[in-house]
Amino acid sequence: MTTRRAALGALLAAPALAQGVEDWPNRPIRLIVAFAAGGAADTAARTVGQKLAEILGQSVAIENRTGGNAVIAANATLQSPKDGYTFLVDAANQLTNPPLMKDLGFDYRTAFIPVSQFCFFPQVVAVKRDFPARTIGEFIALAKDRPGAISYGTPPAAGMAHMAGEVFQRRAGIRLIHTPYRGGADAARDIAAGVLDAVLITTSSIRPPAQAGQARILAVTSLARVPTLPDVPSLAESGFPGFDMNDWNGVFAAAGTPAPVIARLAAAIAQATADLGVRQRMDAAGAIMVGNSPAEFRAWLDGQRALLEQVIREAGITLG
Lowest mean pLDDT among 1-10, 24-33, 71-80, 151-160: 1-10
Per domain, the residue ranges of the chain are: 29-121+246-315, 123-220
pLDDT score of 9: 47
**Which H or E element spans position 249?**
strand 247-254
CATH architecture of the region 29-121+246-315: 3-Layer(aba) Sandwich (3.40)
Is 251 in contact with 115 (CB distance < 8 Å)? yes
Distance CA 300, CA 170 (A): 22
User: For 184-234, what is each residue's pLDDT tens digit?
Assistant: 999 999 999 999 999 999 999 999 999 999 999 999 999 999 999 999 999
Helices of type H across 146-202: 160-172, 184-192
Considering the chain, what percentage of its residues have pLDDT values greater than 90? 88
Question: Which segments of the chain does DSSP mark as H helices, in order?
Answer: 2-22, 40-56, 71-78, 93-100, 108-111, 136-145, 160-172, 184-192, 203-211, 259-273, 276-283, 294-315
Q: What is the pLDDT of residues 233-287, one digit of tens each?
A: 999 999 999 999 999 999 999 999 999 999 999 999 999 999 999 999 999 889 9
Which tens digit of pLDDT belongs to each residue from 91-150? 999 999 999 998 899 999 999 999 999 999 999 999 999 999 999 999 999 999 999 999
Grade residue 20 by pLDDT with cuts at 50, 70 and 90. low
Q: Please say whether the beta carbons of 238 and 222 come within 8 A.
A: no
Give dist(CA 320, CA 315) in Å, integer: 14
Residue 130 CA: distances (Å) to CA of 65, 117, 189, 203, 283: 41, 38, 15, 20, 29
Give the pLDDT confidence score for residue 11 in this predicted structure: 42
pLDDT band (50, 70, 90) for residue 3: very low
The partner residues of 289 in beta bridges, in order of sequence, read 119
DSSP state of 226: -
Q: Which CATH number is 123-220 given?
A: 3.40.190.10
SS3 label, residue 161? helix
- Which pTM value belongs to this model? 0.89
Q: Which pLDDT tens digit goes with each residue over 36-80?
A: 998 889 999 999 999 999 999 999 999 999 999 999 999 999 999
Among candidates 161, 167, 62, 165, which has minimal Cα distance to 121?
161
d(CA 251, CA 117): 6
Distance CA 278, CA 275 (A): 5
Give the pLDDT confidence score for residue 39 in this predicted structure: 86
Would the pLDDT of 5 be above 80?
Answer: no
CA dist list (Å): 296 to 14, 70, 293: 29, 23, 5
